[in-house]
Amino acid sequence: MKPRYLVARSAGDLAAMETDDLVRTLARRAREVYQVAVGDSEKQSWRASIKTVVNVLLQAGLGDVMVLLEMSTLSSNARIDMLLVGSHPNTGELSAVAVENKQWSRLAFNPRTRRITHLGAGHEDSQHPVEQVWDYCWALERQVPMLRGALRGVANMHNASSTDIAKIMPPVSRLRPEIDDKRVRAFSSDADDRREFARFLSTVLSAENARHHVHRINHAHVRPTEEVMHAAYAAVRGRAVFPLLDEQRETVDKVLALVQDGFSANSKQVFIVTGGPGTGKTVLALELLGMLNGISSSAAHASGSAAFSAALRLHVTGRHGNIPDLFTYFNQHRHREPNHLNVLICDEAHRLRKTSNSRFDKPEQRSHIPQIHELIQAARVPVFLLDPNQVVRNDEIGSPEEIRQAALALGIPDEHIHHIPLQRQFRHSHCPEYVDWLEDLLGYGTNPRPWTYQGEFQLLRAETPQQMEDYLRAQIALHHSARITAGYCWDWTQKYLGGRLARDIRIGDWAWPWNAHKANRHRNIPDRTLWATDPNGFEQIGCIYTAQSFDWDYAGVIIGYDYTWSDNEWKSANNKDRATWGDDRHRLVRNIYRVLASRGKHGVVLHSTDPATRDLLLKLKVPPVQAALEALNRKHPGLTRSAPAAPVQEALPWWDING
């Protein structure tokens, strides 16, 4: 099992270690456990902060309490500085304290945004440390249910005076109503405050069974994060379902502050939130929508993805108004009155088009107004969430600069245009380096490099699509979700043949159908909008438009003739469909495979129809899927025999990609 922290030692043992030895140990473990290189600022933080907490533990007589350094939140690649583990002195049950260390002094508090400016660091703006440690506690509790009710948080402000802290500490309920001030505290550098810190720890911690509780935490089953679809029901009712961390919380705080300020039509603000695959853009969008509904502020979610919007509409049902009014398409906002909405959340904004016109519009209905202008004008605060490297068609224009220029053209001052990058990795939280490796493989940055990761995430190569299918079926038999997707390298039959889907994708003697345009309930075939979420979707191959915005436990990707490795570089095949690709086919096809190969949370299986490309994956030391399947069968005898067989199906047409 992958370690969930860098170092676990008693407070007494840490006190006895030389600080430089401890820092070197942590840096080495960071490379081993999290595959990250630690910078000088983080090393300095370790030097300055860790022993300030260790000393308080010793002062409280808690030298045998266990200290976990750089504990994973288990829901992203965010880390908790310190987790103090022992038993509660009154009950003897597991008790733990999460500690967020801050070297800040000279602080200012903005009550409108609830954010901190630490004046000694170039007026850098940051999340309130009490909120941050609360979010970390909440994230950890959601992942490890045994910690519920046993976890408390401390903001260790060891360079700040009690006067400094008083300036930034309103009643905790004004920070966020759900924060329990009995469970989260902040302590300054003042001697009296350090004694109060020691007293607080002694009331919630004892050293009894500390090592046993660390063993339990390290081996506890991690509860999977709620799937976006199942959590949306609660999100739109103003309930906080997702723990928002760091940049996500910054975005939500700023938007909510502007909404609650009662801004005027002349103070329009535009947010541009960028992030790669798995950085939580959609989670942020849904949580923001839920919070805005919770304060009765008019807000809507918009997307360019028919599949994603339809799936959200299906899973979000109940008493909160008209669901189609909550989950909309970009082109539905072309006729809105200016500032009709308070907030419009534009998810998947890389799919923005030049205009909202469709091929069904009559000449007199067509407009020359750019779609970005329509969306900005529709709401007082438009929020765009996008990944520029997910543009997959020639007529998709969503980019931070396009949105910024559109806002400027509409007279919005540059200081009212906010760009927030998301860095935390949520989908691949156990292996955040996978996306970097994938981008190097596909030619975004450096040359393809060997796969050296050793951990829970499974990157595998299949010599045949049948090997891929067998492995993914085995994972489904173990109650995991899985899908297979492919690039545009096969024809797409336009109608059912005898009530079946045509098996258009043929590789050797293996053949599968594309996903369907319309459902056939008698044969358990979902339509294109539900292919990603209906369990029967595994029996068809998905494409970029049915896969984008979704993820599964395991993803299989078939790389076709359109992107192959030859003469030490990637080459994309010619294609006559200039309406789709224009002159930029290579970049767009590369983006497609980047999206498809980043959908698997726990594992990805790659198969190329090109022998030279398969040889590249072999040379890069990507493990063979056959060996992984054999290992599964040894661990679960009879697994392959119990895996469901593919029904004989025959296919449906590719739908209108302009719809």
52/174 same-domain check: yes
339/410 same-domain check: yes
639 CB-near residues (< 8 Å, 6+ apart) = 474, 477, 478, 632, 633
pLDDT, the chain, mean: 85
Q: Which of 421, 445, 468 is the last residue of a domain?
A: 421
Q: Which of 192, 219, 246 is the last residue of a domain?
A: 219
Q: How many domains does the chain have?
A: 3
437/330 same-domain check: no
Q: Are 72 and 99 in contact (CB under 8 A)?
A: no
Highest mean pLDDT out of 30-34, 113-117, 348-352: 348-352
Radius of gyration over every alpha carbon of the chain, rounded to an integer in angstroms: 26
320/462 same-domain check: no
Distance CA 423, CA 248 (A): 9
381/461 same-domain check: no
Whether residue 656 is contained in a domain is answered as: no
Whether residue 531 is contained in a domain is answered as: yes
pLDDT of residue 434: 92
Whether residue 42 is contained in a domain is answered as: yes
Distance CA 525, CA 649 (A): 9
Distance CA 418, CA 410 (A): 15
Highest mean pLDDT out of 257-261, 528-532, 621-625: 621-625
Place of tokens 């891929």: 468
Whether residue 130 is contained in a domain is answered as: yes
Residue-wise over 275-284: b if at least 16 C-beta within 10 A, else e?
bbbbbbbbbb
* pLDDT at position 318 over 50: no
Domain that holds residue 130: 7-219
Place of tokens 């190097």: 440
pLDDT of residue 568: 93
259/196 same-domain check: no
488/363 same-domain check: no
pLDDT of residue 172: 61
pLDDT of residue 649: 34
pLDDT of residue 626: 95
Distance CA 71, CA 45 (A): 15
* pLDDT at position 552 over 90: yes
Residues in the chain: 659
Whether residue 324 is contained in a domain is answered as: yes
The H-assigned helical ranges of 83-227 are 129-143, 162-168, 172-175, 191-204, 210-219
Whether residue 653 is contained in a domain is answered as: no
Model confidence band, residue 581 (pLDDT cutoffs 50, 70, 90): low
Looking at per-residue pLDDT, the higher value among 55 and 219 belongs to 55
Residue type, 186: A
Distance CA 163, CA 466 (A): 67
Q: Mean of the pLDDT values across residues 93-118?
A: 86
pLDDT of residue 123: 55
| 268-290: pLDDT as tens digits | 899 999 998 888 888 888 888 88
Distance CA 11, CA 376 (A): 54
Put the strands of the sheet holding 124-127 in their side by side order. 107-110, 115-118, 124-127
Q: Which of 169, 200, 219 is the last residue of a domain?
A: 219
The H-assigned helical ranges of 60-171 are 129-143, 162-168
Whether residue 428 is contained in a domain is answered as: no
Nearest to 596 by CA among 643, 522, 648, 543: 543
Residue type, 10: S
Looking at per-residue pLDDT, the higher value among 490 and 497 belongs to 490
Nearest to 85 by CA among 74, 72, 97, 93: 97
Q: Phi/psi class of residue 568: alpha, beta or left (left: φ > 0; alpha: ψ in -120 to 50)? A: left
536/388 same-domain check: no
- Give me the sign of the Cα torsion angle 23, 25, 28, 31: negative
Distance CA 198, CA 512 (A): 64
Q: Are 425 and 553 in contact (CB under 8 A)?
A: no
Q: Which helix (H) or strand (E) holds 617?
A: helix 611-619
194/74 same-domain check: yes
| 443-477: pLDDT as tens digits | 998 899 999 998 889 999 999 999 999 999 999 99
Whether residue 655 is contained in a domain is answered as: no
Model confidence band, residue 579 (pLDDT cutoffs 50, 70, 90): low
pLDDT of residue 120: 63
pLDDT of residue 439: 94
Put the strands of the sheet holding 482-486 in their side by side order. 458-461, 600-608, 552-559, 482-486, 541-542
Model confidence band, residue 1 (pLDDT cutoffs 50, 70, 90): low
* pLDDT at position 426 over 70: yes
Q: Which of 43-47, 159-163, 297-301 has the lowest mean pLDDT?
A: 297-301
Distances (CA, A) of 39 to 43, 125, 144, 290, 551: 6, 21, 29, 37, 32
Distances (CA, A) of 49 to 37, 116, 201, 518, 627: 20, 19, 17, 59, 45
Looking at per-residue pLDDT, the higher value among 368 and 607 belongs to 607
| 370-419: pLDDT as tens digits | 999 999 999 999 999 999 999 988 888 999 999 999 999 999 999 999 99
152/258 same-domain check: no
Which pTM value belongs to this model?
0.80
631 CB-near residues (< 8 Å, 6+ apart) = none
* pLDDT at position 653 over 80: no
Place of tokens 């802290």: 165
* pLDDT at position 643 over 60: no
Nearest to 278 by CA among 72, 438, 483, 432: 432
* pLDDT at position 138 over 90: no
Burial of 573 (0-12, 13-18, 19+ CB in 10 A): middle
45/188 same-domain check: yes
58/205 same-domain check: yes
Model confidence band, residue 173 (pLDDT cutoffs 50, 70, 90): low
Q: Which of 41-50, 259-268, 647-656 has the lowest mean pLDDT?
A: 647-656
